[in-house]
Amino acid sequence: MAAANAEGARWQAVEALIDAHADAVMRYARQRTGDDSAAESLFVDTFLQAYRVYPRRPPKDEQAWLLRLADGLAREQAKRRRGDDPTVRPAAANVGVSADGNVHAGGHDAGRAADAEGTAVAEDVGAVRPELRIRLTQLLLACEQQRLAERRHRGPAWIRVAAGLTFLFAAAAISYGAYRPTPLPVRARPGESSLSPSAAGLPVIPQGQFRIPAGEGPSLVRRIAVDNQYLYVPSVRMEGTGAVITVRRARLQRQGKPLDAVLSASGTLRLHPPAAGGGWDLSDWHLQVTGPWVLAVAEWTRADPVGGVVTQIYGLHWPSGRAGLVKSLGPVSGESGTEVVAAGAGRLVIQRGIGNPSSPGQSTTVSSSVEVFRLHGADPGTALGSPVTLHVTTGLMRSPVVTQDGIVFQGVQAASENSAVGYETWYHLDWQGRLEMWQGPPNDGQPHWVACGQTGDTYWVETTPDTGHKAQFQVLMGLMKRSGERPSPASSLDGTVTALTVTGGSLVWIPAADKGQLVVARAN
């Protein structure tokens, strides 16, 4: 039930694994592949896989667990290679990992021969180049940012597998030179006097600056929500089989006052599992704000082997303080489903998908309609009237954002929709049901967000790991174009950040130069 801190715990655990077992994994990778380049690839893939599948309960023997992951990846790679080249390297053919995690080569005789050669050889085989260690950290940071970017609108794990694999392929390609990312874009309007130094370089208007306690960076930014006037900061505590989300807000101001001192009024959302009797985990939740409504989208997962995911939408009408369940979205009988939920412009948008998770190789069957509800009144139970239905045929929307004139989404879940010129294909669906293709950001494997400007322009936002500093990111921002139009030069934030999210058309970040400052800026 401790889902709120799962990502931070996963990150710390995998960092500790790298510190403790990097040499052992590299030693095995070199013995298993017999090739330095293939070994480094297997080394990186092993820790990326460890990050993706790290269990809730830490493994008793961490090194054995890592080597089993490496062995499984090596076997998969060997199967793929045999389709092109039937030759198997002698080292790869005779190297494996035992149940206790010990590396063995060529049986007992080979093991004694390896021992006879002495420890110095083993230490040399297991040495990890500093450049490779830095690259691994950058890729893990990119994985973490990708998870945060997709967290706001995502379905259950079975439908997210293809998107995750697509990202890992892109990240690996960047790491090993298969794909050359475009040079850093030219800065647009870097010295405009209307921008404060903390926001210089981006087409944004600063809204607020706050001082935050040390160590509250990424965990704070991950859950935050913003509208035109306020910053909303939620916190969660588990209570019985359910959860309680407390939301406080602060008026946006640029004096840089301590955030704790300006957070005042609060509201409460009580979350209850889909069925009585326990057996449900709160696997994910996030806030969205539209008009007077603060909405919490909660994802519950059954903890028993039967499984199942139910999405609930809770509403808090801020002026009256009334809160409760707005809508529950359960799987269709006999099928496994997922839902995409987004709110904005006084509307709640829901799209359902239906598929068969027992046949992951088959295409997911997705409903061809999007339901659009207008929020009204003050009672969460009756806030939704009859929906307007928009018929689309693209599939299940990925990361939709609701704007005044429609819905912008970043392609289709579990599908690759990239144009031939190296740019992602995004879509705009207006309230009349007309669908338009847009030319999105470069197809470079980095996480992306949508930011809608006050003047009606729509931007993409990207974070890219900074090659010179661990846990820091460059922030790029580009104007969306219709499909086929020439893309405009992107803007680049002056300086790097340690955390960033985009919510309600605003960018929220923590500058690396001042980790005690939280900056909120609206797309122009």
Instruction: Give the pLDDT score at 157.
Output: 44
Instruction: Give the pLDDT score at 193.
Output: 34
9 contact partners, CB below 8 Å, separation of at least 6: 2
pLDDT digits (tens, 9 = 90+) for 32-65: 888 888 888 899 889 988 888 887 677 888 999 9
210 contact partners, CB below 8 Å, separation of at least 6: 231, 250, 256, 257, 258, 259, 262, 517, 518, 520
Q: What is the CA radius of gyration of the chain?
A: 24
Q: Is pLDDT above 60 for 311?
A: yes
Question: Measuring CA to CA, how many Å separate 428 from each of 294, 352, 353, 414?
Answer: 25, 18, 19, 19
Instruction: Give the pLDDT score at 81.
Output: 62
pLDDT digits (tens, 9 = 90+) for 269-293: 999 998 876 688 898 899 999 999 9
Rounded average pLDDT over 2-26:
75
Instruction: Give the pLDDT score at 431.
Output: 95
pLDDT digits (tens, 9 = 90+) for 123-170: 456 678 877 877 787 677 666 655 655 554 444 443 344 444 444 444
Burial, 484: exposed, middle or buried (Cβ in 10 Å; 0-12, 13-18, 19+)? exposed
How far apart are the C-alpha atoms of 260 and 210, rounded to whole Å? 9
Residue 390: which pLDDT band, with cuts at 50, 70 and 90? Answer: very high
Q: From its phi and psi, is residue 291 left (phi > 0), alpha (psi between -120 and 50) or beta?
A: left
Q: Tell me the three state secondary structure of residue 405.
A: coil
The pLDDT mean for the chain works out to 76
Rounded average pLDDT over 300-313:
80
Instruction: Give the pLDDT score at 148.
Output: 57
Instruction: Give the pLDDT score at 486.
Output: 79
Residue 153: what are its φ and ψ, rounded to 5°? -145, 95
In percent, the amount of the chain with pLDDT more than 90 equals: 37
| pTM of the model as a whole | 0.66
Of residues 182 and 226, more confidently modeled: 226
How far apart are the C-alpha atoms of 493 and 197, rounded to whole Å? 10
**Which one-letter amino acid corresponds to residue 472?**
Q
Burial, 211: exposed, middle or buried (Cβ in 10 Å; 0-12, 13-18, 19+)? middle
